[in-house]
Amino acid sequence: MVTVETKMTITTSQLFFLVFTAILFSSAHFSAQSSNEDEEDVKKSHFPDGFLFGTSTSSYQVEGAYLEDGKGASNWDVFCHVPGNIMNNENGDVADDHYHRYLEDLKIVQSLGVNAYRFSISWARILPRGRFGEINPRGIKFYNEIIDNLLLRGIQPYVTIHHHDIPQELEVRYGGWLNPLIQKDFVYFAKICFEKFGDRVKYWATINEPGLFVNRAYIWGTYPLGHCSKPFGNCSSGNSDIEPLIAMHNMLLSHSMAVHLYRKQYQMKHGGFIGIVVNALMYEPLTDEELDRQAVNRALAFDLYWILDPLVFGDYPPEMRHILGSELPRFSPTERKLIKGSLDFIGINHYSTLYAKDCTHSACTDGEDRPIQGFVNTTGYRDGVAVGGLTGMPRFFVVPEGMEKIIDHVKKRYNNKPMFVTENGFTPPEKQSEQVQDLLEDIDRIKFHKAYLAALARAIRSGADVRGYFIWSLMDNFEWVHGYKKRFGLYYVDRQTLNRTPKLSARWFTSFLTNNSHSNKDEFWGDSFRNKDMLKRSGDKKADI
């Protein structure tokens, strides 16, 4: 006769076997290139004293409450409401409802054991009509409460002023980033942020990923305003060869003006630091041919140097000037003086490594043989074999050594300017019959962060001045054009109830931060079993995603 106790023992043993087996064989998702990094021991003690460990979110992706308490419409609010722009026609109207649940979410942040939290401020929540309207006091109150609660919990706020979302008023009035008038609006917005929050915020990033944004918004037309031209897309308006250059020019000048204001009026008083966040892919040559090696440098130039060269050296990279000639805007002597050196640190958002192929002497398609793309084709595959382990994003691959390489590259080109890894994260490949428990037992995400942290630690040991690492993201959220299907979070968010449930990776990250080790397996396996019990009680164990 099998007793109830025996049944429970068998069940637990089976669960243990399944989890243990998954750990042994989940490396199938990772490339052979990354096997050494996967196995490398990594501890918190491998990082410098005072190193910031945190998680990241952004306003539009988590807040919701899109027209509540005086908030105005943003470019993303309008764009998402156009059928066909977003997967499954989803939007950020509710998102994770962070606007109403922020106290719960800050408790979650604290429970992880982090010492920093990166978030962004909704421009339209503070200034619903930009400088053409009044400041929204309820927006100020919301961010004051977030900042104050973080500090009460011993967590440093790391604030991004602009993370893709701007008031729709500015798009309608003068075309947003395509008009130099936006520089005045951005500095006005930044000034309000410095005045209202700067006494407690020590880390400011002006703009998140300007390169990615202008590519999506003005080359491919997949971000608002949705501008593009053939062969990149079939948008109703736009010029993919010219508009991204104009928008980037205005972004960089806006950044430099905000930095100048901060340094002149607030930095000495508040003792903070200010920088920018870039999307930083690493590239490898598709072949051993010299042309593909040169393509790597052009790929980096059109992704990374485009933003950082002006802010460090005072002008666009020569690699771009050589290709684009007079189409690339020029800084006036006054602007060059303003923009040069307008960085205290560089924020690095690193997710993947790709191959680069030359398009000057080889046939390429989809606009890659045009100057605005640097005559470079980028791909994740060589002879049908992926550059690294697959993820849930088509151009994101697991290549941990890419982290070490991109950090070393930025260190050398920019004289070892202080850096923060402001985003690094993993979303698993989708399964046809995915269940909640599959998402909670995210062993591949743990392996991903262990491998990338080990690579980052090696870069630091080699002399890179890296001062922080932020996991993207705190919780599953609205992933832009992908809607809610891509799940990068340490916490699972049920789209029906919006309840937050810690994944195995959340338990691992806490263990890593609090026990100075990555290997406290009993603790986070035990929590995995408790998650199963929670799901069984709620009746959600077999719910499909």
Matching residue, tokens 């491919």: 220
- CA atoms of 259 and 271, how far apart (whole Å): 14
The CA distances from residue 541 to 440, 472, 532, in Å, are 11, 26, 7
Q: Which amino acid is at 3?
A: T
Asked if the peptide bond before residue 58 counts as cis, ω within 30 degrees of 0, the response is no
To 5 degrees, how large is the angle CA 489–CA 355–CA 282? 55
List Cβ neighbours of 17 (8 Å cut-off, separation of 6 or more): none
Q: For the CA atoms of the chain, what is the radius of gyration?
A: 23
- CA atoms of 330 and 333, how far apart (whole Å): 9
Q: Could you tell me whether strands 491-493 and 500-502 are parallel, antiparallel, or unpaired per DSSP bridges?
A: antiparallel
Residue pair 216/187 in contact by the 8 Å Cβ criterion: no
Q: Which has the closest alpha carbon to 182: 162, 203, 209, 158?
A: 162
**21 φ, ψ (degrees, to nearest 5):** -60, -40
Q: Of all helices (H) and strands (E), which one includes residue 271?
A: none
Structure tokens at 340: 């040069």
Structure tokens at 341: 């050196």
Alpha-helical segments (H) within 179-266: 181-197, 210-214, 243-265
Catalytic residue set: 209, 423
The CA distances from residue 449 to 42, 169, 489, in Å, are 10, 40, 12
Instruction: Compute the Cα dihedral for 130, 136, 142, 146 and give only its sign.
Output: positive
Q: Partners of 349 in the beta sheet?
A: 279, 423
Tally of helices (H runs) and strands (E runs) in the chain: 21, 18
Other Cβ atoms less than 10 A from the Cβ of 502: the count is 23
